[in-house]
């Protein structure tokens, strides 16, 4: 069972970037302590060094021990980064440009330095040096960030604070402060998650520091004034979330998966008394959610070989044996909703979610063994568009897999050992 995060407190200053990066000049002016009251210099959202690009310039953002590195998603070449002490987690902010860094006592705002701006019937595209800004959402044990229904929601495990905002215009807002947020506080603090719903509703997990039991759905409103419209407490160990086609939301349980759709909760039970599906990957192109599947409650680290496929329309479960183990960072979805799983044998499996058939296996990395410490680097899968990016920490490499051709299109050697991985569309 994956242990919930135990974040290390980060350094409160931004250090000079290693020589491998080219962003030192922009980072030099970002030494103030982060917080909602901190004010950047004019140009916080639009660096003076910004240059117009011919088209969207997608970028990859990865963590390493002591910092954040940014790569050009097309060439896999480094374009900048920042040093930041501690174990940090990455979450797209929802505007295609910024990343929220869960640092323990804050969600810090990192500017990946690539964005597009509407201009009449077309858009202008820009690129600049990436940098860690002075902006930060205060938090107690900063946890999950979820983007859905035009909102971005932050969950603080240490306080139960659920903070949501509209990411549209995020960059412009950052020139003077943080965006206006709606704050709801869960009855008890716990390692949880919240999902914004269409129509202004909010799904929030239930639990405390001893046990987690399920979720509640709150109707439209503000703060604590939201009215409860649905509840289910039959999801022990509730963990993770995913959204499938037609707005179906799922949560993982130790004995199955909980589906919320059309105002109603439905439980899909595991065939085993303990059949945990704590990590999921959804796609709006498919009603089927991909999940892990673990059956050994006593294991310090279980290395499962089966994955779960839960159909949110029929509330049915299919288990598929892959013949290889995988980790919680191995799950992803392709552009057409295909299920993707990176195995410890180095193969990226492409699976038809409707039938469970493995349609192809793409050799990407050397065989690897998952560490028993969940914060340690391990091969990580991230999908952007029709490209699957896979890190290979042992070799300090990253690979770009073209999902249309089923081939490794490009590989690059990194100057750091990659850990977490995400990206922005630019």
**Of 171, 122, 132, whose CA–CA distance to 34 is shortest?**
132
Strand-pairing partners, residue 381, are 390
CB burial of residue 55 (10 Å; 0-12, 13-18, 19+): exposed
pTM of the model: 0.89
CA distances from 342 to 303, 307, 331, 363, 387 (A): 13, 11, 7, 10, 14
CA gap 52, 48 in Å, rounded: 12
**Tens-level pLDDT at each residue, the chain (426 residues):** 334 433 333 333 333 333 333 333 333 333 333 333 333 333 344 555 788 988 899 999 999 999 999 999 999 999 999 999 999 999 999 999 999 999 999 999 999 999 998 888 889 999 999 999 999 999 999 999 999 999 999 999 999 999 999 999 999 999 999 999 999 999 999 999 999 999 999 999 999 999 999 999 999 999 999 999 999 999 999 999 999 999 999 999 999 999 999 999 999 999 999 999 999 999 999 999 999 999 999 999 999 999 999 999 999 999 999 999 999 999 999 999 999 999 999 999 999 999 999 999 999 999 999 999 999 999 999 999 999 999 999 999 999 999 999 999 999 999 999 999 999 999
How wide is the angle at C-alpha 230 spanned by C-alphas 333 and 207, nearest 5°? 75
Helix (H) or strand (E) holding 170: helix 170-173
Let me know if 215 is exposed, middle or buried by CB neighbors in 10 A (0-12, 13-18, 19+).
Answer: buried
Contact present, 132 and 108 (Cβ < 8 Å): yes
Name every residue whose Cβ is closer than 8 Å to that of residue 73 and which is 6 or more positions away in sequence. Answer: 57, 58, 59, 60, 384, 387, 389, 400, 423, 426
CB 399 within 8 A of CB 392: yes
CA nearest to 157, candidates 110, 202, 108, 212:
212
Dihedral angle of Cα 45, 47, 52, 55, to the nearest 10 degrees: -50
CB 259 within 8 A of CB 229: no
Q: Report pLDDT for 16.
A: 36
Say if CB 316 and CB 356 are below 8 A apart: no
């Amino acid at each position: 069972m994956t242990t919930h995060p135990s974040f290390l407190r980060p350094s409160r200053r931004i250090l000079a970037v290693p020589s491998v990066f080219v962003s030192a000049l922009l980072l030099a002016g970002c030494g103030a302590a982060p917080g909602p009251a901190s004010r950047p210099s004019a140009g916080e959202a639009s660096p003076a060094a910004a240059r117009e690009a011919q088209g969207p310039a997608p970028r990859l953002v990865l963590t390493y021990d002591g910092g954040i590195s940014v790569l050009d998603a097309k060439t896999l070449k480094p374009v900048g980064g920042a040093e930041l002490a501690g174990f940090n987690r990455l979450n797209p902010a929802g505007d295609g440009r910024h990343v929220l860094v869960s640092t323990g006592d804050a969600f810090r705002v990192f500017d990946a330095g690539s964005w597009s701006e509407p201009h009449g019937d077309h858009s202008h595209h820009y690129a600049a040096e990436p940098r860690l800004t002075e902006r930060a959402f205060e938090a107690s044990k900063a946890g999950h960030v979820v983007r859905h229904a035009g909102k971005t929601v932050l969950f603080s495990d240490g306080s139960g604070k659920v903070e949501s905002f509209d990411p549209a215009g995020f960059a412009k807002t950052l020139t003077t402060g943080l965006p206006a947020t709606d704050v709801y506080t869960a009855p008890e603090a716990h390692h949880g998650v919240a999902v914004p719903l269409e129509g202004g509703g909010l799904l929030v997990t239930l639990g405390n520091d001893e046990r987690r039991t399920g979720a509640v759905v709150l109707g439209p409103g503000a703060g604590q004034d939201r009215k409860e419209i649905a509840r289910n407490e039959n999801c022990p160990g509730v963990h993770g979330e995913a959204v499938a086609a037609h707005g179906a939301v799922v949560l993982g349980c130790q004995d199955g998966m909980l589906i919320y759709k059309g105002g109603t909760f439905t439980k899909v039970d595991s065939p085993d008394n303990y059949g945990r599906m704590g990590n999921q990957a959804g796609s709006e192109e498919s009603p089927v959610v991909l999940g892990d599947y673990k059956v050994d409650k006593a294991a310090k680290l279980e290395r499962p070989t089966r994955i779960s496929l839960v159909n949110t329309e029929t509330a049915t479960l299919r288990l598929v044996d892959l013949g290889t183990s995988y980790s919680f960072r191995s799950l992803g979805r392709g552009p057409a909703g295909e299920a993707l799983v990176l195995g410890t044998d180095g193969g990226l499996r492409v699976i038809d979610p409707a039938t469970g058939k493995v349609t192809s296996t793409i050799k990407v990395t050397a065989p690897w063994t998952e560490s028993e410490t969940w914060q340690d680097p391990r091969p990580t899968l991230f999908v952007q568009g029709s490209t699957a990016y896979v890190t290979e920490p042992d070799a300090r490499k990253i690979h770009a897999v073209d999902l249309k051709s089923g081939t490794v299109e490009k590989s690059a050697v990194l100057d750091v050992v990659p850990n977490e991985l995400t990206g922005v569309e630019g």
